[in-house]
Amino acid sequence: MKIFVDFDDTLVKSRKSIVKCINDMFHLSRTEDDVTDWGFRSLKGDLTKKDVEGLFESDAFWNNVEFYEGAVDTLAGHDVYLCTVGTTENLRRKTQFLSEHSLPYHEAFVNSDRGQTMKDKKRFNMAGAIQIGDTWQELEHTNADVKILFKDYRDYSWQQVPPNAEVYIVDTWKEISDIIGWYAKYGS
């Protein structure tokens, strides 16, 4: 089965690693529950977009980031496309990380250094595929047959889904595994 999966806060616990980086760098004691915005300014008000990009490229981030439980096992044996946004350096680090963890995948990269955003994920042909991501905006305009919004027990503004949207909303990779298993067995 063809699966397009987002990286940050979907495949791996990016938010957790970023909170640790910010706490270590600025001697704070924030938690993941303190995160309320994309730019992490809810943790430290004067962070810039460049600061956040630097965190996502840093050794501190990559030395602490970890997979969500069950993510790798769920994807094993499927035709996986890593559909993720990042700077050139961040995308290089994602490639290196997945190589070190032996997760085979195809690249479906969206490079923010080229002005691309998560909405540019719609340029990939996902017909007949499953798409998994943590924001409604990245799922909204793609042509994936099955869309899964991974919330991880959060309720952020970027996860709000309009009424009657055709999307599965889940909190765990076990739920994702169940959906993939059902579609692999019965189709759409």
* C-alpha to C-alpha distance for 96 and 44, rounded to whole angstroms: 29
pLDDT given for residue 38 in this prediction:
82
**What pLDDT digit, counting tens, does each position of 1-34 carry?**
999 999 999 999 999 999 999 999 999 999 999 9
**What pLDDT digit, counting tens, does each position of 92-105 carry?**
999 999 999 988 99
pLDDT given for residue 119 in this prediction:
85
**Contact yes or no for 43/166 (Cβ under 8 A):** no
Phi-psi region of 153 (alpha: psi -120 to 50; beta: other; left: phi over 0): left
Asked whether residue 35 carries a pLDDT value surpassing 70, the answer given is yes
pLDDT given for residue 117 in this prediction:
83
**What pLDDT digit, counting tens, does each position of 140-156 carry?**
999 999 999 999 999 99
Give pTM, 2 decimals. 0.95
Write out the two tokens for 146. 């099955």
**What pLDDT digit, counting tens, does each position of 156-168 carry?**
999 999 999 999 9
